[in-house]
Amino acid sequence: MPTLGNCSKRHNRAINSGHENSGLKPAVAGRGRRMSTDGNYSRRLNRWLNSRHNSGVNSGLKPAVLKLFRRKKSSKDTFSPDTLSNLFRFKYSCFKMLLDSNAKFLTVISDIEERLQGQEIFGMSYVRSRSDQAVFHTLRMVKNLDDLSGHRYTLLFDILEEINLKIKEVLGKRKEIPPTELILPYLQINAEMVDWVGGKNANLGEIHNRVYLPIPRGFAITTRAFESFMVRNELFDEISKKKVGIDPNNPETINTISEDIRQLITSAQVPAELEDAILLAYAKLAEDSGMRVSMRSSATGEDSELSYAGQYLSKLNVPSDQIIHAYKEIVASLYSPRAIAYRLNKGIRDEDVAMSVACLEMVESAASGVMYSRNPLNLLEENTIITAVWGLGPYAVDGVITPDSYTVGKNRQTIAAEISHKTVKLVSKPDEDLIEVPVADELQDKPCLSQEEIDILVTYALKLEEHYGCPQDIEWALDKKKRLFILQSRPLRVEDYGKGYPITPVLTAYPLLIEKGGTASAGVGFGPAFHVASDQDLLNFPDGAVLVARHSSPKFVMVMKKTRAIITDMGNIAGHMASLAREFAVPAIVNAKVATATIPAGMEVTVDAYSGRVYQGIVPELESFQNACECPMKDTPVYRVLREVSDWIIPLHLLDPKSPNFTPSFCRSLHDISRMVHEFSYTEMFQLSDFVSDKKGVAFKLKVSVPLDLYVIDLGGGMTETNVHLKSVPPDKIASIPFNALLRGIMHEDFQKSQLRPVEFKGFLSVMREQMLSPPSKAERFGDRSYAIISDKYLNFSSRVGYHYSILDSYCSQTPSMNYITFSFKGGAADDIRRNRRVRAIAIILQSLDFTVEVTGDRVDARYQKHEISLIEDKLDMIGRLLQFTRQMDMLMNNEASVEALAKNFLAGNYNLKSTVTTRESEVRG
């Protein structure tokens, strides 16, 4: 077995070298050792691994006490209560971190499995970040189990390292040599260079050089330049330090740290060679020094992988003396509040994003807009959608002006033309920034495009779709010389490819607040209206509300995980906000005109974003239309990479802890390691309780009035007093908030009445037959001892009653964001059908109690989190009752009617299973 020091050094090397073959884009791979991943995984892990030598010192344990980890209990062992308390607190600290990473690892698995359904959009940045998180949390679990056990599981490090190498091998198959150029003209750029110039630049080069369509003259400032700027100023390390203070649940911390980071970047000095290269490229482009340029963000991952609509800065009408400062501002926009929030929500690491910048000749637009080569709401409609406004493009995509809209068929015939009233436009002035000016009276209701210009744009759209092989989202501009330019083209991200949307009739039984708005993102949402008119309103936005605003804005991404739907008075389906809403699957209606005036704050509304209608109140008839749209991710290259990586993460081969194969050498996935570590961690904790329970008052038998062999281990603050001479304690000595709540349910008066449990004769025979005929592993008996590991706010409860096994983990405090309940129930002595019926009945009960529930075979897993302390206590009380209610339930699950009947009776407070059986028999006879 390797020494502790060698083990630590070897695993530090493995983590530090993790990016060399991880598949990181070459432009940013070099900084992987300087910048930690999201959550500072690598740096934190190195610190933990290096601290292994000092584990005993840090925990206050003496070397002699640490020997307890490595040997079995002896009857001659005597230790002071303080020594035992320190020892146990140290083990609990390891155990708690292990449980934390186990929960997060399972969340990663769940997230990957959702993506493997092919219904959500993701890119390679997602694959890398989730792979890193899975490895990190598995390694954190292994490290803490090894510490918990006194370093008896070092072999798991080797197994984990082998699997990690396999994952890196999958991610590192594509090898590329990065360019050395700081600047690249568009004549030298194509789509294969996306890693070096970002999605926008790569697409512009592709459009110009391979599709042969007109684009503005210009050049790209590469990601090599970005790397040079950031490294020369040592910005990566400084940014990493500042991001430690971000609390994803507190938007104010994102705003504060974002401002600090952007100030760091904009005040840094651009290297002289980079500044010279940029200005020289500009001089070659400009016919005179007065030419202005537009500078657009082109981050890696943007457009080509994920829709970063509006997340990064673009600067228009930039004079020559402001180009360098504008470059720094665009780089700094990588860390705007909404960009940071976007990456946090989408699981994108900073390492997977680098900033290239497009520097383009400023087009003095007479008109501009966005077009889709297919209808974004139904790709089976082979129509091109064009939107247009007078002046520059930002007003077309930012929702300031409702644009003209043209629907054109493949035969070039205009099917529909909706000409809006356009009172203002955005223009550039030679000696000023962009300004808003009135539209001439004679143009306010005039179409922005002639039929000839519409025909040309449709031709461009179809050529781009044919070249890229998929529908396109395109920005265009028409200059004052009547020349059309393509400014940007990217894949059209449509979640409902290949399906028509449902037709929802007008429901006259409900007051109609909005009769017709524009569908930006299809779907149905319910909730109370919350008006957003400022950034402060976004900070105060409540979970489950419907966002109502005057203008659409990409800033709304800050709350897209919270909101049920979005309604805006102005805007259009080509806007950035609309694109984000579709990506986050948030139903959204734009151009509703009177939403802020018609819908008061707090009113419950139903948003039907299929038809563009909003109703007052909750409309049950529309509930069936809430399903999220699908996305065609399957069979794409990135999907295949995720599939291959997931084969080393998700499969679970180690199912039975009693099997001789339940050993490290049989671990073939991260899930196997996680499963084994989690199982062994309970063993380690319980072994310690056995060691001290009969001597020093660390574990006590709880005297309860129900048949439950329950032992309590107090980690501090979980009991009102601890008398080391006692072997048992009454419930009134328990101070733990979550444990007291659970006990209230377990000791509910209905379960303390002396009564025989009802048993159906057929069900009893079925259970007995299954026990006699099934192999030993089929119906595992867990034993009868249960443990409650408690502190003042924490509870880990493991209940073993015969063939049933449940685990509950809960934190219950005055801070709602920290509160949670996780609950798992498994086992049973009956056949597979009865056990599955039982967990489905439990699932119905938990779902009715507002838990998120998953059922797999004879196991049910549930979660309830981020609620007020009173709600957490109420749910724990109900789970306590449920644990009592489920005893011998297998014998009652004789047919499908029993599932609903048992759930219905429990929720009605009828815990007498005898009357439950009678009720169910009546239902069956009926």
pLDDT tens string 569-592: 877 665 557 766 776 778 999 989
pLDDT at residue number 30: 33
- Report whether 69 contacts 145 (CB < 8 A): no
Residue 609 structure tokens: 């974003």
User: Residue 414 pLDDT > 80, yes or no?
Assistant: yes
At 809 the pLDDT is 82
Classified as helix, coil or strand, 676 is helix
Question: From CA 744, how far away is CA 731, in angstroms rounded?
Answer: 10
CA angle 907, 911, 917 (to 5 degrees): 100
Find the range with the poorest average confidence among 316-320, 335-339, 719-723, 737-741.
719-723
Among the listed residues 204, 191, 195, 188, the one whose alpha carbon sits nearest the alpha carbon of residue 174 = 195
For the segment 175-204, the average pLDDT, to the nearest whole number, is 81
Tokens read off for 518 = 């524009």
Quote the CA–CA distance of 473 and 308 in Å, as a whole number: 13
Task: Please list, residue by residue across 412-446, b when 16 or more beta carbons sit within 10 angstroms of its beta carbon and e when fewer do.
Answer: eeeeeeeebebebbbbbeeeeeeeeeebeeeebee
Residue whose pair of structure tokens reads 């790209």 in the numeric block: 220
Question: What mean pLDDT do residues 880-885 have?
Answer: 88
Residues 6+ apart with CB under 8 A from 503: 610, 611
Q: How many residues does the chain have?
A: 926
Least confident of 15-29, 430-444, 796-810: 15-29
Instruction: Provide the angle, in degrees to the nearest 10, between the axes of the packed helices 897-907 and 913-925.
Output: 140
Structure tokens at 64: 């002699």
Amino acid in position 896: E
With a pLDDT cut of 70, the percent of the chain lying above it is 72
pLDDT of residue 764: 38
pLDDT at 199 over 50: yes
Phi, psi of 542 (to 5 degrees): -85, 155
Q: How far is CA 142 from CA 67, 95, 306, 672, in A?
A: 20, 11, 34, 12
* Span of 146-155, 762-771, 884-893, 915-924 with lowest mean pLDDT: 762-771
At 387, is the pLDDT very low, low, confident or very high (cuts 50, 70, 90)? very high
Checking if the pLDDT of 430 tops 80, the result is no
List the single range of 63-72, 371-380, 477-486, 540-549 with lowest mean pLDDT: 63-72
What span, in angstroms and rounded, lies between the C-alpha atoms of 863 and 853? 7
Any idea which residue has 């180690």 for tokens? Answer: 654
Q: What is the arithmetic mean of pLDDT over 121-148?
A: 82
Band (490; pLDDT cuts 50, 70, 90): confident
The reported pLDDT for the residue numbered 895 is 80
Q: What is the pLDDT of residue 118?
A: 58
| Greater model confidence, 783 or 902 | 902
**Which residue, among 462, 487, 483, has the nearest Cα to 474 in the 3D structure?**
487
Strand duo 524-531 + 546-551: pairing: parallel
Most confident listed range (335-339, 365-369, 376-380): 365-369
What is the reported pLDDT for 649? 92
Distance CA 413, CA 564 (A): 38
| Position with higher pLDDT, 300 vs 913 | 300
3-state helix, strand, coil in the chain (%, to 5): 45, 20, 35
pLDDT-derived band at 57 (thresholds 50, 70, 90) equals very low
Give the pLDDT score at 635. 59
Question: What's the pLDDT at 805?
Answer: 74
The strand order across the sheet containing 472-479 reads 414-418, 404-408, 384-390, 365-372, 472-479, 484-491
Residue 800 has pLDDT above 70, yes or no: no
Say which residues have a Cβ less than 8 Å from residue 808's Cβ, sequence separation at least 6: 742, 795, 796, 797, 798, 799, 821, 822, 823, 824, 876, 879
SS3 category, 406? strand
* Beta-bridge partners for 827: 804
pLDDT by residue (tens digit) across 817-872? 567 788 988 765 556 777 778 888 999 999 888 788 888 777 888 888 767 799 89
3-class DSSP string for 260-306: HHHHHHHCCCCCHHHHHHHHHHHHHHCCCCCCCEEEEEEECCECCCE
Say if residues 222 and 179 touch (Cβ distance below 8 Å): yes
pLDDT at 123: 53
Tens of pLDDT, residue by residue over 688-743, are: 544 444 444 456 888 887 777 788 888 778 888 766 566 788 888 899 999 999 99
Q: Could you read off the pLDDT of 7-55 as tens digits, one per residue? A: 333 333 333 333 333 332 333 333 332 223 333 444 444 444 444 333 3
* The pLDDT of residue 303: 39
Q: Could you write out the DSSP letters of every residue in 761-782?
A: HHHHHHHHHHHHHS-TTTS---
Coil, strand or helix: which one is 497? coil
Looking at residue 497, its pLDDT comes to 35
| pLDDT (0 to 100) of residue 696 | 44
| Residues 709-718: tens digit of each pLDDT | 788 888 778 8
Ranges assigned E (strand) in 496-603: 512-514, 518-521, 524-531, 546-551, 565-570, 588-590
CA dihedral 722, 725, 729, 734 (to 10 degrees): 0
Query: Residue 67: is it exposed, middle or buried by C-beta count within 10 angstroms (0-12/13-18/19+)?
Result: exposed
The percentage of the chain sitting over the pLDDT mark of 90, rounded to a whole number, equals 31
Give CA–CA dist 800/806, Å, rounded. 7
**Where is mean pLDDT largest: 124-138, 320-334, 670-684, 881-895?**
320-334
Question: Given this model, what pLDDT does residue 692 score?
Answer: 42
Query: 796 versus 327: which is more confidently predicted?
Result: 327
Average pLDDT over residues 318-324: 92
37: phi then psi, degrees, rounded to nearest 5: -75, 170
Burial class (CB in 10 A: 0-12, 13-18, 19+), 528: middle
Out of 257-271, 286-300, 749-763, the most confident range is 257-271
Query: Which of these ranges, 120-134, 525-539, 653-667, 789-803, has the smallest mean pLDDT?
Result: 120-134
Phi, psi of 733, rounded to the nearest 5 degrees: -90, -5
The H or E element spanning position 385 is: strand 384-390
Q: How far apart are CA 338 and CA 580, in angstroms?
A: 12
- pTM for this prediction: 0.48
Across 246-250, 285-289, 670-674, 858-862, the highest mean pLDDT is recorded for: 670-674
CB atoms inside a 10 Å sphere around CB 689: 18
pLDDT score, position 666? 92
Res 883: pLDDT: 87
User: Is residue 261 within 8 Å of residue 335, measured between CB atoms?
Assistant: yes
Q: How far apart are CA 674 and CA 680, in angstroms?
A: 10
Q: Does residue 198 come out as left (phi exceeding 0), alpha (psi in the -120 to 50 range) or beta?
A: left
Instruction: Inform me whether the pLDDT recorded for 375 exceeds 50.
Output: yes
The larger pLDDT score, comparing residue 923 to residue 639, is at 639
Q: Supply the pLDDT for residue 251.
A: 81
Q: Which two tokens stand for residue 390?
A: 């007078």
**Residue of 630, 745, 555 lying closest to 114 (CA atoms):** 630
pLDDT interval class at 346 (50, 70, 90): low
Interatomic CA distance for residues 368 and 388, integer angstroms = 5
pLDDT of residue 81: 52
Token pair 């509040």: residue: 337
Q: How far apart are the first and last CA of the chain?
A: 68
Residue in the structure block whose two tokens are 């584990």: 55
pLDDT tens profile 506-550:
888 899 999 988 888 888 999 999 999 888 899 899 999 999 998
Q: Are 818 and 737 in contact (CB under 8 A)?
A: no
* CA nearest to 673, candidates 660, 664, 682, 681: 664
Per the CB < 8 A criterion, the answer to whether 816 and 868 are in contact is yes
